[in-house]
Chains A and B, each alone.
Chain A
Amino acid sequence: MCPCFHPVECVIPEHMLESIATHGTSAQRQAALNNIRVVYQLRAEQAMRASFKGLFDSAIPRAINNEKERVIYDAMRRDTLPGTVARREGDAPSSDPAVNEAYDGGGTTYDLFMKEFGRNSIDNRAMRLDASVHYRTGYDNAFWDGTQMVYGDGDEDLPTDERLFNRFTIAVDIIGHELTHGVTQFEAKLVYSQQSGALNEHMSDVFGSLVKQYQLQQSASEADWIIGGGLLTGNVNGVGVRSMKTPGAAYDDPVLGKDPQPAHMRAYVNTVSDNGGVHINSGIPNHAFYLTALEIGGYAWKKAGQIWYTALRDKLSESSNFQQCADLTHQTAGELFGVGSLEQQAVQHGWAAVGLTVSESGGKPKPSGCLEATLRFIGAA
């Protein structure tokens, strides 16, 4: 039986996708169109990278001494990046808490990746960690723009009793999350759409949470596994924006609505919003990671984190889906800790609990399985 929940995410010839997009039912057409979009996006990105690889690589600012180097800028509430330098590596703390949070959070993220995974910054070649704070006015967001982190101040422009968000540097896991988007950009390059996009978000949540646990020296059972703790103001009924422990339970508020994350494949959300639900369906692999780390026990970055980091660096690719992530993390656990080891069993149990049965094929698409799935998809089997 094919491990795919969404058969057209297997390797299906383009002409077949086009035919499904033209002649299928409404749901089939939508699924096929989503896949065609991913194919085109992949091709465009591959072509661009091939054309500009040398230029892009030489333009990356790197640490002079090949060690941790941070530069924090103040965007002065404008949208021009990066802004004015507010603190450089080794400078005394600023009087601005957002500057210090971006500096310290970037440092903790660098330390986790360097000391625990042997990775020297985002590109593993000592890329300088640039971040801009105070981006725009009333900007309730943070993002990685491909070269640097960018943080808004939340709802600072609204009256206190109407504010929902604090500044986005307030939680160290947000900083770890954004930096991990950079790591993913240099490694698996997961396409930011549908399941591969949800895995991109998942990896950022995993390492964002691990940065926080590493900073607090918490074990898996001690950690809260909340993403964005402290980000929501006291006006909101919520503890953060996502929960890896209990996806769907981070907030439930009259203004914000309810946390939409599922914790199981049976509740997978098909949507065109949010790049195909990348921040929604990430709840499924997030929960699998949490369960794996809890079963292994101890500090989550030591074993579960090592498995996921190795899979991100060496195994996952641009179009990986949830099933492949499950298979490849399981395979990685076997390589790192032994086939049948408690660690590998924990990975298997974690994925099983969210509705994904790991395959012994190691995440490689099985042609017969995909063919079977395709036939089922078009109603021929």
Chain B
Amino acid sequence: MEFTQIKFERSGGFANIRITAELNLRDLSDEQAIALKELLDELDFPKLPTKLTSGETVPDEFIYTITVETEKWQHTIIADGVPKDAKIQELLELLNRLARKKMRNL
């Protein structure tokens, strides 16, 4: 999936440190870009429902908002810290790692 930008936000959590990152394709290594593209393809990201929350109230869990932009479309999903789908979890963990790294390198 040829995305141009991914916007990532993590809010909540015990410490409530909000993490945001705008990840552009050109800023990522080839390996990171390929991993993200493959995950987005496998998830068929534009067809995912906007809300992927578990429906259970879990105090202090994280809440994630992810927006993927391509030249043709833009799609946003909101997920909480305990999604059942392993691929969604993989995507959240990968984006979280990249965002944490970017946050510290500012």
Taking Cβ atoms with an 8 Å cutoff, the residues of A that contact B are 41, 44-45, 79, 138, 140-146, 155, 158, 162, 164-165, 168, 174, 177-178, 181, 191-192, 200-201, 204, 228, 231, 241, 254-257, 260, 273-275, 278-280
Contacts and interface: CB of A to CB of B under 8 A. Distances in A.
Contacts of B34: none
Contacts of A174: 14
B81 A143 contact: yes
Interface in B8-38: 9, 11-18
Contacts of B11: 273-274
B17 to A, nearest CB: 6
Chain B interface category by residue count: 20 to 34
Contacts of A279: 12-14, 16
Given A255-B106, A274-B63, A168 B97 contact: no
A138 B103 CA distance: 14
Contacts of B104: 158, 162, 164, 255
Nearest to A159: B104
30 contacts: A138-B100, A140-B13, A140-B17, A141-B15, A141-B61, A143-B13, A143-B14, A144-B58, A146-B58, A162-B104, A177-B14, A178-B60, A181-B59, A191-B57, A192-B57, A200-B59, A201-B59, A204-B59, A228-B15, A254-B106, A255-B103, A255-B104, A255-B106, A257-B17, A274-B16, A275-B12, A275-B63, A279-B13, A279-B14, A280-B16
Interface string B61-96: 111000000000000000001100000010000000
B100 A143 contact: no
Given A141-B62, A273-B9, A278-B12, 11 more contacts: A41-B57, A44-B55, A144-B59, A158-B100, A178-B14, A192-B57, A228-B14, A254-B106, A274-B63, A275-B63, A279-B13
Contacts of B60: 141-144, 178, 181
B15 to A, nearest CB: 4
B15 A231 contact: yes
Contacts of A138: 97, 100
B66 to A, nearest CB: 14
A136 B73 CA distance: 34
B44 interface: no
Interface centre among A44, A143, A275 (most CB of B within 10 A): A143
A280 B104 CA distance: 23
Contacts of B18: 257, 273-274
Nearest to A201: B59
Contact of A165 (B12, B15, B58, B63): B15
B31 to A, nearest CB: 18
Contact of B58 (A44, A145, A280): A145
Given A138-B97, A181-B60, A241 B16 contact: yes
A155 B17 CA distance: 13
Contacts of B55: 44
A56 to B, nearest CB: 13
Given A138-B100, A255-B103, A192 B59 contact: yes
Contacts of B58: 143-146
Nearest to B56: A146
A79 B89 contact: yes
Nearest to B59: A181
Contacts of A260: 16
Interface centre among A145, A177, A231 (most CB of B within 10 A): A145
A254 B58 CA distance: 30
Contacts of B17: 140, 164, 241, 256-257
A41 B57 CA distance: 9
Given A138-B97, A138-B100, A192-B57, A168 B14 contact: yes
Contacts of A254: 106
A146 B15 CA distance: 19
Contacts of A181: 59-60
B97 to A, nearest CB: 7
A141 B57 contact: no
A141 to B, nearest CB: 5
B7 to A, nearest CB: 14
B103 to A, nearest CB: 6
